[in-house]
Every structure is written in structure tokens, then in C-alpha cells.
């Protein structure tokens, strides 16, 4: 048993000792959370915009290593953020699909049609007819994110 005169010192030491472990625990959690986020910029950003009806609205961020970050906003089966993975070969196919696109963006865009916006190598292409990007349509179907 501790003498009454030493008890306050013992408890101060015990509290400081326990806090040391608390700080180590909190720092490891902060570092772990910070490193789990995607640190590179996406290779491709595929966005579907809203229309006046019930068009799906979402963003797909495709990374070179095959990781995909999906953010479902409206009229989609999966709302919120989800992560998926495709092969590097599929990423290459998508890049080739974008390289083949010859879209005349000077056409008048119809107000009610949803737009597909694809950003690749710092350039954004706006499309109103998704038939022009069949590999992206196949990817969206494969991920099962639409209603």
C-alpha cells in the first residue's frame, strides 16, 4: 500500500503513462487513415450529369493501377462512395476508347439530355449520346451501379 504522501505522485505518473499509450494509438490511427486514401490523380474521370428526368448521376475515377472510385449521386442503385477494381488491361482498353473518340463539341447541346463528361490527360470531352462510348457503358453495367 502506498503511503498517503506518495499517492498523488503515483497517480500523476500513472495518468501520464496511460496517456502515452493513448497518444501512440491515436497517431497510428491518423496515419493509417491518411495512407488508405487514393494519393494519385485519376487517369480517367467519367461523369454522368443530370437531366430533367430520372437520369443516373455519378462519377467514376479510374486509376492507372485498376482501382476505381465511384460516387453515386442520384437515380443510381448504389449511392455514395464505393471502390471497385478492374485489370490494368481494362484500363488500357478504356484509354484506347478515349483516344478513338472524335466528338464535335461545337454542336448545340440539348438541355434535357444528360451529358457524359470524360476527362483524360487534362482534356474534357462532353458527349450527349452514350452510344459513342460502348466500353464505358460495358464497365458501368459490369459494376452494377445503375438501377
pLDDT in tens, 19-75: 566 555 556 667 665 555 555 889 999 999 988 888 899 999 999 999 999 999 999
Residues 88 and 122 placed together within one structural domain of the fold: yes
Residues 104 and 127 placed together within one structural domain of the fold: yes
- Parallel, antiparallel or unpaired: strands 123-127 and 80-85: unpaired
Question: Which of 48-52, 106-110, 133-137 is predicted with the least confidence, judged by mean pLDDT?
Answer: 106-110
Residue with cell 484506347: 96
Q: What is the pLDDT of residue 145?
A: 77
Residues 49 and 107 placed together within one structural domain of the fold: yes
Residues 119 and 66 placed together within one structural domain of the fold: yes
Distance CA 129, CA 136 (A): 12
Residues 11 and 53 placed together within one structural domain of the fold: no
Residues 65 and 91 placed together within one structural domain of the fold: yes
Question: Which of 79-83, 124-128, 133-137 is predicted with the least confidence, judged by mean pLDDT?
Answer: 133-137
pLDDT tops 70 at residue 134? yes
Question: How much is the pTM?
Answer: 0.67
Distance CA 61, CA 67 (A): 8
Q: How many domains does the chain have?
A: 2
Residues 49 and 26 placed together within one structural domain of the fold: no
Q: Which residue range is the domain that position 16 belongs to?
A: 1-37
Amino acid at each position: 500500500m502506498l503511503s498517503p504522501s506518495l499517492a498523488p505522485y503515483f497517480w500523476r505518473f500513472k495518468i501520464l503513462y496511460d496517456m502515452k499509450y493513448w497518444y501512440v494509438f491515436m497517431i497510428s490511427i491518423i496515419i493509417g487513415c491518411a495512407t488508405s486514401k487514393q494519393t494519385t490523380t485519376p487517369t480517367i474521370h467519367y461523369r454522368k450529369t443530370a437531366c430533367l428526368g430520372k437520369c443516373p448521376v455519378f462519377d467514376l475515377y479510374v486509376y492507372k493501377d485498376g482501382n476505381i472510385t465511384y460516387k453515386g449521386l442520384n437515380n443510381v442503385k448504389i449511392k455514395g462512395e464505393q471502390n471497385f477494381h478492374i485489370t490494368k488491361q481494362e484500363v488500357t482498353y478504356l484509354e484506347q476508347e478515349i483516344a478513338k473518340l472524335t466528338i464535335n463539341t461545337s454542336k448545340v447541346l440539348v438541355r434535357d439530355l444528360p451529358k457524359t463528361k470524360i476527362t483524360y490527360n487534362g482534356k474534357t470531352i462532353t458527349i450527349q449520346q452514350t452510344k459513342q462510348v460502348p466500353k464505358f457503358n460495358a464497365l458501368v453495367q459490369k459494376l452494377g451501379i445503375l438501377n
